[in-house]
Amino acid sequence: MRHPQIFAHRGARVVAPENTLPAFQKALDMKVDGIELDVHCSKDGELVVIHDFTVDKTTNGTGKVSDFTAAELARLDAGSSLSAEFAGVGIPTLAQVFDLVGNHCRVNVEIKSEDPTGGNQVEPLVAMIQKRNLYDQVIVSSFNPITLIKMRWADPKIQLGLLYSDDLPIYLRHAWFTPIIHPEALHPDHVIVDAKLIAWAKSKGCAVNTWTVNDVPEAQRLAALGVDVIMSDVPDEIMAAL
């Protein structure tokens, strides 16, 4: 059985607060193959790493991410909700995460965007990938097809991943496979991955990177099917079982 790569979903979020530098450091300590994270733009145009469109769920603040500067987001407490050990840990910038990761693992950057024009993260992310020469290390994913089309137009060399789940409208699923977008990878919800999907993806020349797998038997099923990447909240447990 070919072993898939294991990515830490939002970092090692079970043992450190998700999408923070400690979570990514813990993931690196586990020797993961990659990390997955989410990006938004701050009020002052910095790419910052947080899942939700608001800071309410994971910090002691309230309001939209886009209403805070990067410095203000860094001063929020994004750690205490998990453990007092992480009190005062703030929301990092994507640049800080890349500095931490270096060349130790791959990075899946998910652009969170409901913007019909693709979102304001595309241009600064493209510039950062180009400046740091991260073409071989980074794959950019999104549920928003316009976002990925915008990425493709901005720099065709950047690897793209289609995020989708079973409830995504069929017209959106098929919209990805145009000459403009053609993603390097599919990122399906693990519950819809079967032999037929794997065969279809391979016929399109796409890798299959699936999320979010925290159950060992399910990870073993997916590995046997031949998925390329498994994203998990418990990457150490999944790696130990495969």
What amino acid positions are annotated as catalytic residues? 9, 51
Distance CA 28, CA 154 (A): 30
Token pair, residue 170, equals 């069929």
Number of H helices, E strands in the chain: 9, 9
Q: Is 227 left (phi over 0), alpha (psi -120 to 50) or beta?
A: beta
The residues pairing with 163 across neighbouring beta strands, listed in sequence order, are 187
Burial of 237 (0-12, 13-18, 19+ CB in 10 A): middle
Structure tokens at 45: 């145009």
Alpha-carbon span 44 to 22, nearest angstrom: 24
Do 42 and 90 meet the contact criterion of CB atoms below 8 Å apart?
A: no
Question: In the chain, how long is the greatest CA-to-CA distance?
Answer: 50
